[in-house]
Structure 1
Amino acid sequence: MNHQIVWSVALILGVVLGGCERNPEQTNTNASVAEPALSNRVDINTAVRQNLGITFARVESRNVAQTLRVPGRFELLPTARREYRMPAAGRVELLVQQYQKVEAGDLLYRLDMPRWRELQRELTDIEASARLAKADLDSIGPLLAAHEEYHAEIQNAIDLWTQRVADLEQLQAAGGARGGDVAQARASLATARADLAEAKEKKAELTARALTATARFDAAQSRMAILLESASSLTTRSVSDLTEIDVGKPKWQRIGEIEILALSPGVVDLFHAISGSFVEQSAPVLTTVQPDKVRFRAHALQSDLGKLLNGLTATVVAPQGGSLRDSAGIAGTLILAPTADPERRTIEILMTPNGGLPLDSWARAGVSAFLEIVVSGGGGEELAIPLTCVARDGTQSIIFRRDPADPNKAIRMDADLGLDDGRWVVIKSGVAEGNEIVLDGVYQLMVATSGSITKGGHFHPDGTFHDGDD
């Protein structure tokens, strides 16, 4: 039994120790093969670039030393948001979907409002009153014309009887006229004068009636104008559109449910009511926004106030990493807030993008990014590369420049770096503007070309480490 245990232990030790033993012949063979000299050039053909996801960034001139970078976010301009509210209490029927794009004049929702029915009745009544006043006023003109003719005839009769009475009185004085003829002439003259007085009274009545009809017509017209303005507010249509004749009637008489149209282009953002609900007057129904009307809001340290001025040129750059990394910057003009925050010791700064150019799709409200400001007193531009192009191999900073003569090779270079702003770093030598520097995949290339990183091996039971798999 004891002999069996001894032989078992010996066998186990032999296996363990034998696993770490190297074949002398194999050792001699490996030692006789010289390791190839390391080169500073790496093959990066299409297959390698695809497998490692290699991308490139170009060397460009930037004012890194005098660039201030502050984080912030995009927000909508105050004029970018529009609310559509209830002009009067009524039932709502929504006709658009959330985030649907609409143009000016597109139908948003329909309203069934009791107030509109009342307004239509008031418009009908006042229109009838205006027509009656107009008819009365129009009838007075011919009456006054006829009365003027009657007045002229009476005046002629008075003139004739006046002359007749004077002639008869002269004859009577000479003894050639009878007294009865004179009395009859005087009676006829009195009657004519009475008719004239009555005619003047009638004219005064017609004049007053004309003034009353004019006042009634003007009042009806004013009332009609006010009601049409109210109808315009309820329907969001112009007065000229409401009064346009459609199949023999003005349009306001034919409107049943009120259709609310978009006043400006935009995107439907929020709903404040649901279809079929009864909504009170002035309550919001939906909100649209114009996503391209944005500005950038950031917070700078108060210690940087000496460098910041209104009107400085600033550029919003997308956050590092992800699909937005290669997005172009958005330039604009800087505006400083009139007051600062004493608790956080910051000051708000706004950047409004330059007009005339469409914004990239990523520039929308709520997106976080960085604002790069070339502060006052900035120096000249220097060659710079993204800081993420730099890899560390021990204590060395390494970059890989794409060979201008062979795009399928990358040249490993010790990076001669200068100042950085957290995103870009000055590179002092070894590159020219426009050169391509490896961005994604730089770490894999550094590992593949490093002489200081252990490539692989295994540990022995005694804690020592050996290269290779055996």
Structure 2
Amino acid sequence: MKVQRACYIVFCILIACGCLGCDQHPDHTVVHDDHDPAMEQAAAPSNRIAIPPAVRQNLGITFVQVEARRVAQTLRVPGRFEYLPTAKREYRTMLPGRVELHVNQYEQVQAGTLLYRIDSPAWRQLQQQLTDADASIDRFQTRLESFGPLRQAHQNHERQLQRIIDVRRERITQLETVAEVGGGRIAELSEAQGALAIAESDLAEVLEKEAELEADEAEARSELIAARANRDFLLDSAATLVGEPVSALISEIDAEPGAHPRWRTISTIAVHAAEAGVVESLGLTNGSWANEEVAVLTVVRPDQLRFRAVGLQSDLGRLTEGLPARIVAPAPTRAVGSIDLADAMPGTLAIGLQGDPNERTVDLFVTPDALAPWARAGISAQLEIVTDATAAPVLAIPNAAVQRDGLTPVFFRRDPADPSSAIRIEADLGIDDGRWTVVHSGLRLGDEVVLDGAFQLMLASASNGQQQGGHFHSDGTFHSGEHE
């Protein structure tokens, strides 16, 4: 009763406003005085309402086409957009130092954009270690180069001693031959044998030194390899810190007093964006001192989104991995400035690995094939899943297009013959999926029904179950009947 009374009051107000609008025209006043009550009673009630363009604009009336949909096989689940796990990239301090920011929050950045600089004493310590590593390599390299001349000198000494030994052995042989025939002196033979022993001892020392020289050379070569490996590790660490390849760090740069590798000329560490995105948050104030592994800023890629919906575990029997799904706007409207009803994003359904035993729910995920402009992280919407694509589609209209006049559901069909008029139809409805309702009669595929503004038309045409036609004035006021 309260709803009917409210509708009656609104209708009376609109009629009064319409009458005032009509009374402003002298021609209307004269014709009204000539009305014949008998002719009015004989006239059949009309279910048409004139809605010229000015009225449609003032009342915000929009239309939507009748669609063939699988309403009974459609499951709707509320949810929201969220970033993919790979959408965010966090930039932290690699070394302790003073941080100078070069970007602001919500600033668009491209790959390679300078984000911030770190002035770190630890970086200069790494540069010192690299300098020491270079010095060690040079030292071991020089030492290795000296082994060649040393080996050559030892070999010459060895050959000289070998010749001396050969000569003395020959002398001893001669003395022994003379002694056998009874000639010569024993003292001379003994002296020759002593000299041979000394020469052989000197040769043994030379051979021992050559063995030590080979060992020293092998040790120096190993130390050189270790020094080079240590330098490579330090360069890899430096490349990771500055975000440049090793080849760029070791490239020679002309500087006073001579050419130097690039790593030696870097005074502060510059951090650049690895990929395009938007600076989501800043973790430090400009110029502040930060310890190691402190979050400086976060860059997010707004286009890396997925839709997370919360479904009921009781619907798992209808859901399977890989079903086609659509993400639709949260409100069914076509009003100017709102998200259009038809603006949907298709995708493929993925069911979460686990559910909530307390809430009896399960997460459903869809990554859109293409993002609509209104898609943002945290924006709520609905997930539309057709569980059986083989079912026959039926005619349906949005629930928002159906209004109730008392207990009677009605909708307004746009007259195909006259787009500036709407036909009030008592709805013969079937099931609905929460947004779309099956219509059994009164419509055909391609027809248009009023979506936004249907409530105003219902109030204007409400007459306790009796269909009443009329027209709107350009100011939005309603007048029953036709212009006279």
Q: TM-score with structure 1 length normalisation?
A: 0.80
Q: CA deviation at 1:313?
A: 2.7
1-structure distance, mates of 2:383, 2:116? 40
**Are 2:355 and 1:348 aligned?**
no
* SS of match in other structure, 1:135: helix
Q: Deviations over 1:323-368 (max 9, x none)?
A: 1233522223333334433333x313221315xx431122221111
The answer to whether the Cα contact below 8 Å between 1:337 and 1:347 also exists between their aligned partners in 2 is: no
**Are 2:216 and 1:209 aligned?**
yes
List aligned pairs for 1:296-375, cutoff 5 A. Answer: 296-320=307-331, 321=333, 323-326=338-341, 328-344=343-359, 346-354=360-368, 357-375=369-387
Q: CA deviation at 1:406?
A: 4.8
**Are 2:290 and 1:279 aligned?**
yes
* SS of match in other structure, 1:323: coil
Sequence identity percentage = 47
> Structure 1 residues 182, 433: CA separation in 2 closer, same or farther (over 3 Å shift)?
farther
**What's the counterpart of residue 256 of structure 1?**
267
Greater shift, 290-299 or 325-334, is seen at: 325-334
Query: What amino acid is the match of 1:291?
Result: P
Q: Select 1:417's aligned residue among 401, 411, 429.
A: 429
1-structure distance, mates of 2:148, 2:411? 100
2-structure distance, mates of 1:95, 1:397? 61
Query: What amino acid is the match of 1:30?
Result: H
Q: Select 1:31's aligned residue among 12, 31, 36.
A: 36
Q: Deviations over 1:166-209 (max 9, x none)?
A: 34533554568777875675455444323322321221232232
**What's the counterpart of residue 426 of structure 1?**
438
**What's the counterpart of residue 230 of structure 1?**
237
> Structure 1 residues 443, 194: CA separation in 2 closer, same or farther (over 3 Å shift)?
same
**Are 2:446 and 1:441 aligned?**
no
Q: TM-score with structure 2 length normalisation?
A: 0.78
Q: Select 2:203's aligned residue among 189, 196, 201.
A: 196
The answer to whether the Cα contact below 8 Å between 1:63 and 1:378 also exists between their aligned partners in 2 is: no
**Are 2:399 and 1:387 aligned?**
yes
Gap regions ≥5 residues in structure 1: 1-24, 457-470
Q: How many residues align?
A: 430
> Structure 1 residues 317, 217: CA separation in 2 closer, same or farther (over 3 Å shift)?
same
Higher relative contact order, chain-length normalized (CA < 8 Å, sep 6+):
2
> Structure 1 residues 191, 42: CA separation in 2 closer, same or farther (over 3 Å shift)?
same
2-structure distance, mates of 1:440, 1:153? 114
RMSD (Å) for aligned C-alpha atoms: 3.2
Gap regions ≥5 residues in structure 2: 1-29, 471-484
* SS of match in other structure, 1:162: helix
Query: What amino acid is the match of 1:195?
Result: D
Q: CA deviation at 1:405?
A: 4.8
